[in-house]
Amino acid sequence: MAMFGKRPGDQSAAPRAPAPASASAGAVFAPAGTPSMPATPAPVAPPPPAPEVRRSDEYYQTKSLIFGALIEAIDLSQLSKLDSENAREEIRDIVNEIIAIKNVVLSISEQEDLLEDICNDVLGYGPLEPLLARDDIADIMVNGATRTFIEVSGKIQLTNVRFRDNAQLMNICQRIVSQVGRRVDEASPICDARLLDGSRVNVIAPPLAIDGPALTIRKFKKDKLTLDQLCRFGSISPEGSEILKVIGRVRCNVLISGGTGSGKTTLLNCLTNYIDLDERVITCEDAAELQLQQPHVVRLETRPPNLEGQGAVTMRDLVKNCLRMRPERIIVGEVRGPEAFDLLQAMNTGHDGSMGTLHANSPREALSRLESMITMGGYALPPRTIREMIVSSVDVIVQAARLRDGSRRITHITEVMGLEGDVVITQDLFLYDIVGEDANGKLKGRHRSTGIGRPRFWDRARYFGEEERLAAALDASEVRE
Ligand SMILES: Nc1ncnc2c1ncn2[C@@H]1O[C@H](COP(=O)(O)OP(=O)(O)OP(=O)(O)O)[C@@H](O)[C@H]1O
Ligand SMILES: [Mg+2]
């Protein structure tokens, strides 16, 4: 039966001897050159089950037994010659044979689960595979081998997924990051990467993560949400979405503000849908998430430093370079540092319609965050000058929020009006009010305009022939009581 080979992505052949017991935290690193996957199960009892784990210890013991026999039986150096379908078939054949020889008693469904699990361990991302295959999950958060959480519909829940031990989890992390040419180990325990499907990945390993590797995945949605879908979810009202469409089209400079996972990137992506087809757009991101549909788009991505600490390309480098690329609009995935200055300058110097997201809990906080990013960037500018710069660059702030019932809402469309003394004046155009809570704990609320008929970007809207649409949307969303 010795006929299979290791996959090209693997670090080395599978071990023949039992791996050292490595279930304890602290001993989770596979030194360079040791097998990445699969490791023969450690000859110790499986870790105690978390109470919510549905599968029995017996299942894991059986799996360990069969896994061990499989590794003994196959020659991994041949496995790479097969495509993944055939490799799966071969593994299934052998596992079935082992089950027969070892006289393991399993129900048909247990046997199917086991086969699937083992194939995933050998060929893919192990216990993560079933989660990666689901499209309803927004985030996967692995806190060490025994606890994996997911976010579905805005709510975080514990799953029954668990890894054999921290070493297996670490090996899977290693496998993920090695696909993009990175390494994660004790020397460089923090790593950002991307899955082949575009999902954004962060790994932080011991000793920095105390209880085993922490892996966080923001699942990539192939079909990005559209404004129409956001309307259906109640994230924004149809009239509110009309206002956003106008804002996107008429080249307002927009900041999208929101907390972690509140839907900033999604909203930015929606707004870019309304950019005219003939505009030259340049996007700068840490990990490319945006999906612009226009034909004339240049996508740029930052780069972390290599192991020697060299070769980093920062967001600031990208935004500065953008300016030499004759952009009409610049889109910055996330503004979080000194690039804020360059983005504002770009907005200020004829690149109307530039956009970016930033982390803040209200439009006002977004403004002060912007100010402190510029101050911390080392520009010795008096606060008033920075504020002048902000008010002459930013037109609109759109605020996204994830509410306590898990729902995501657009809570503010706010205009930046100008400076009064040293204070930046803003004006809310459109708001979300929470009015109550239903029996299931779902928040009830409504979107409304604030009664302002002529926003500051009215002239712009007229220039683009969108003023009627804007007026109608504002009018229709007024609440008259
Ligand atoms: N209005 C919405 N309704 C339902 N789901 C949404 C909504 N907006 C975004 N999502 C989903 O929530 C998840 C997080 O969205 P997104 O990546 O846009 O957030 P973010 O604020 O950019 O997060 P981060 O701060 O991590 O960059 C995604 O899976 C996305 O599909
Ligand atoms: Mg984002």
Ligand 1: residue whose CA is nearest its atom 23: 261
Give the closest ligand to the alpha carbon of residue 270.
1
Atom of ligand 1 nearest to the CA of 268: 18
What atom of ligand 1 comes closest to residue 357's alpha carbon? 22
| The pLDDT of residue 174 | 87
Q: Are strands 329-332 and 355-359 parallel, antiparallel or unpaired?
A: parallel
Q: Which of 266, 268, 357 has most ligand 1 atoms within 8 Å of CB, for mutation?
A: 266
- Report the Cα–Cα distance between both ends of the chain, in Å, rounded: 79
3-state secondary structure the chain: CCCCECCCCCCCCCCCCCCCCCCCCCCCCCCCCCCCCCCCCCCCCCCCCCCCCCCCHHHHHHHHHHHHHHHHHCCHHHHCCCCHHHHHHHHHHHHHHHHHHCCCCCCHHHHHHHHHHHHHHHHCCHHHHHHHHCCCEEEEEEECCCCEEEEECCEEEECCCCCCCHHHHHHHHHHHHHCCCCCCCCCCCEEEEECCCCCEEEEECCCCCCCCCEEEEECCCCCCCCHHHHHHHCCCCHHHHHHHHHHHHCCCCEEEEECCCCCHHHHHHHHHCCCCCCCCEEEEECCCCCCCCCCCEEEEECECCCCCCCCCECHHHHHHHHHHHCCCEEEECCCCCCHHHHHHHHHHCCCCCCEEEEECCCHHHHHHHHHHHHHHCCCCCCHHHHHHHHHHHCCEEEEEEECCCCCEEEEEEEEEEEEECCEEEEEEEEEEEEEEECCCCCEEEEEEECCCCCCCCHHHHHHCCCHHHHHHHHHHCECCC
pLDDT higher than threshold 80 for residue 8: no
Q: Is the pLDDT of residue 14 over 60?
A: no
Instruction: Please give the pLDDT value at position 33.
Output: 35
Residue 14, phi then psi, degrees to nearest 5? -75, 155
Say if residue 39's pLDDT is above 50. Answer: no
Mean pLDDT value across residues 311-315 = 92
Residue 194 pLDDT > 80: yes
The pLDDT value given to residue 102: 85
Ligand 1 centroid to residue 430 C-alpha, Å: 21
Distance 286 CA to ligand 2 centre (A): 10
Give the ligand whose atoms come closest to the C-alpha of residue 199.
Answer: 1
Show the tokens assigned to 189.
Answer: 């325990």
126 C-alpha vs ligand 2 centroid, how far in Å?
A: 27
Residue having the nearest C-alpha atom to atom 25 of ligand 1: 260
pLDDT at 45: 44
pLDDT score of 205: 94
Q: Which ligand is nearest to the CA of 332?
A: 2
pLDDT of 229 over the 70 cut: yes
Of the listed ranges 308-312, 336-340, 461-465, the least confidently predicted one is 308-312
- For ligand 1, atom 6, the nearest C-alpha belongs to 263
Q: Which residue has the tokens 């990013």?
A: 373
Q: How far is the CA of 260 from the centre of ligand 2 (A)?
A: 8
pLDDT value for 112: 86
pLDDT bucket at 10, cuts 50 / 70 / 90: very low
Query: How large is the average pLDDT for residues 464-468?
Result: 95
* CB-defined site of ligand 1, < 6 Å: 138, 218, 221, 225, 230, 233, 235, 258, 260-266, 408
pLDDT band, very low/low/confident/very high, at 213 (cuts 50, 70, 90):
very high
Span 444-456, pLDDT tens digits: 999 999 999 899 9
Identify the residue with better confidence: 408 or 108.
408
pLDDT above 80: residue 435:
yes
- The angle subtended at Cα 8 by Cα 5 and Cα 9, nearest 5°, is 125
pLDDT of residue 40: 39
More confident residue, 149 or 44: 149
Select from 193, 262, 222 the least CA-distant residue to 135. Answer: 222
Q: Which residue lies with its CA nearest to atom 12 of ligand 1?
A: 263
Query: Which residue carries 């010659």 as its tokens?
Result: 81
Nearest Cα residue to atom 29 of ligand 1: 138
> Which residue lies with its CA nearest to atom 3 of ligand 1?
408
Whole-number Å distance, alpha carbon 371 to ligand 1 midpoint, is: 25
Ligand 1 atom showing the smallest separation from residue 230 Cα: 1
More confident residue, 196 or 246: 246
Identify the weakest region by mean pLDDT among 43-52, 210-219, 258-267, 334-343: 43-52
Distance from Cα 49 to the centre of ligand 1, integer Å:
32
- 458-467 mean pLDDT: 95
- List residues, by chain if needed, whose CB lies under 5 Å from ion ligand 2: 264-265
Which of 135, 199, 265, 315 for mutating ligand 1's site (highest number of atoms within 8 Å of CB)? 265
Contacts of 186 (CB under 8 A, 6+ apart): 29, 205, 206, 207
Residue 48 is predicted with a pLDDT of 42
What confidence score (pLDDT) does residue 80 get? 57
Single out the residue of 245, 250, 286 nearest to residue 460, CA to CA: 250
Provide the pLDDT for residue 38. 40
User: Per-residue pLDDT averaged across 70-94, rounded?
Assistant: 76
pLDDT of residue 85: 80
Distance 399 CA to ligand 2 centre (A): 13
Q: How far is the CA of 288 from the centre of ligand 2 (A)?
A: 10
| Closest atom, ligand 1, to C-alpha of 359 | 25
Q: Closest residue (by CA) to atom 15 of ligand 1?
A: 263
- Tell how far the Cα of 53 is from the centroid of ligand 1, in angstroms: 28
Least confident segment among 55-64, 201-210, 272-281: 55-64
Is the pLDDT at 258 greater than 60? The verdict is: yes
Give residue 54's pLDDT.
55
Considering only CA atoms, which residue is closest to atom 14 of ligand 1?
261
Question: What mean pLDDT is reported for the chain?
Answer: 84
Q: Alpha-carbon distance 339 to 374, whole Å?
A: 8
Which ligand 1 atom lies nearest to the CA of residue 235?
1
Using CA atoms, how far residue 351 sits from 278, 281, 326, 419, 455, in Å, is 14, 10, 9, 22, 21
Q: Which residues pair with 447 in a beta bridge?
A: 432
pTM for the predicted model, two decimal places: 0.78
* Residue (of 263, 256, 284, 266) closest to 223 by Cα position: 266
For residue 57 the two structure tokens come to 């210890």
Q: What is the pLDDT of residue 308?
A: 77
Specify whether the CB–CB gap between 118 and 14 falls below 8 A: no
Measured from the alpha carbon of residue 256, the closest ligand is 1
